[in-house]
Structure 1
Amino acid sequence: MNVSREEAYQLLTEYTKSDSLIKHALAVETAMRAYAEKFGEDVEKWGVVGLLHDFDYEKYPSEEEHPYKGAEILKERGYPEDIIEAILGHADYTGVERKTLMAKTLFAVDELSGFLLACAYVRPDKKIANVKVKSVKKKLKDKSFARGVNREDIYKGVEELGVDLDEHIAFLIEALSKNADILGV
């Protein structure tokens, strides 16, 4: 199957109506594309993985259903196994091992992308480009800030990907800044 961003976006919007969840998907897509480029990987495929990682979440938000329902839908539609496996692996509770660089990257960017958007939203100018690494790290320690973001997953993702936390944060800020208009930051 040829992985088409257009088809993936249609699938995302078929299952997801929430503006914030769509923005999250676009942020993770942006982060995945940036890392794919950096690593010399398939930018389109990695972008699709980012776009679709939570497409089933709004309809199936429980740990019993997400991302399993999404994986079933992707299988039915003929998506490649490595995409499905990466999406299953982005939720630590599935127990699906992250074997590929794509799967490890998805896990490493998912929670942090959402956290960085939250950091931008509380800035007076609401600009992701003006978010500083030092400020992000300070907010990571504040359990009441963006409390829905799993900090353990952020740290575990950095470790699995084998990148420095400061560099990872800076890389994602820069990547998300390039898509700031679409992301609303």
Structure 2
Amino acid sequence: MERDEALALLRRYVVSPSHIAHSYATAGIMKRVAEHLGEDAGTWEIIGLLHDIDYDLVAGDMDRHGIEGHRILIENGVPEEIADIVRRHNHTHFSDYVRPVEIALQAADSASGLIIACALVKGGAVSEVAPRTVKKKFKEKSFAAGCERERIRMIEPLMDMETFFRLAIEGIMDIRTDIGLT
């Protein structure tokens, strides 16, 4: 699957601008992490784009989230390799993440909101966000309170937190204009 196909599929099922922005941000982070780890950056980016494809459909029903995403992806000809990762990313049902792509998706999914919140404090300028800023805000539990910090920490077997924060910032820098940041 190519990126343009994934974007078209995403826009067919996800209408919420905030969910689309979240998907772009997660994809940007996934791509940078994959490059760093020597993995398939294109596939990881597509996984990031499509990981919440069912979110509008399930309307917050976490018992269905991921399962419906898997169904949508399979029905649209997306390979099982990608669809299964989307199905398993719902951490309310799964926690046995050992594959780097699954670990990275957990971290990227949650870190996207943290990085965007840091950028918004800087007037929307992602270029003004540094890893030390993210590290400081990461420790402030009240900042971006919905960000699940324990899911971000899952990345630690693959890399240190500062490296991850740097890659996450770079990933969001890559897509900043797509989500209205500078």
Same fold (TM over 0.5): yes
Matched, 1:177 2:177: no
User: Which residue does the alignment assign to 2:29?
Assistant: 31
Q: For each residue in 1:93-112, what CA deviation from the matched residue of structure 2 results, as whole angstroms up to 9, or x when unmatched?
A: 12163343222221221111
Which consecutive unaligned segments of at least 5 residues does structure 1 have? none
Where does 1:78-117 land on structure 2 (aligned, <5 Å)?
Answer: 78-95=77-94, 97-117=96-116
Asked if the contact 1:49–1:87 (Cα under 8 Å) also holds between the matched residues in 2, the reply is yes
Report the Cα distance in structure 2 between the residues aligned to 1:5 and 1:63, rounded to whole angstroms.
27
Aligned Cα root-mean-square deviation (Å): 1.7
Aligned length: 180
Asked if the contact 2:137–2:143 (Cα under 8 Å) also holds between the matched residues in 1, the reply is yes
Asked if the contact 1:85–1:96 (Cα under 8 Å) also holds between the matched residues in 2, the reply is no
Structure 1 residues 178, 10: CA separation in 2 closer, same or farther (over 3 Å shift)?
closer
User: Which residue does the alignment assign to 2:117?
Assistant: 118
Matched, 1:68 2:67: yes
- TM-score, structure 2 as length reference: 0.89
**Greater relative contact order (CA < 8 Å, ≥ 6 in sequence):** 2
Which consecutive unaligned segments of at least 5 residues does structure 2 have? none
Q: For each residue in 1:49-69, what CA deviation from the matched residue of structure 2 results, as whole angstroms up to 9, or x when unmatched?
A: 010001111221211111111
Report the Cα distance in structure 2 between the residues aligned to 1:104 and 1:32, rounded to whole angstroms.
10
Q: For each residue in 1:163-185, what CA deviation from the matched residue of structure 2 results, as whole angstroms up to 9, or x when unmatched?
A: 10111101211222132222322
Report the Cα distance in structure 2 between the residues aligned to 1:114 and 1:105, rounded to whole angstroms.
15
User: Which residue does the alignment assign to 1:164?
Assistant: 160
Using the aligned pairs only, state the percent identity: 35
Report the Cα distance in structure 2 between the residues aligned to 1:64 and 1:180, rounded to whole angstroms.
32
List structure 1 runs of 4+ shifted beyond 4 angstroms.
none
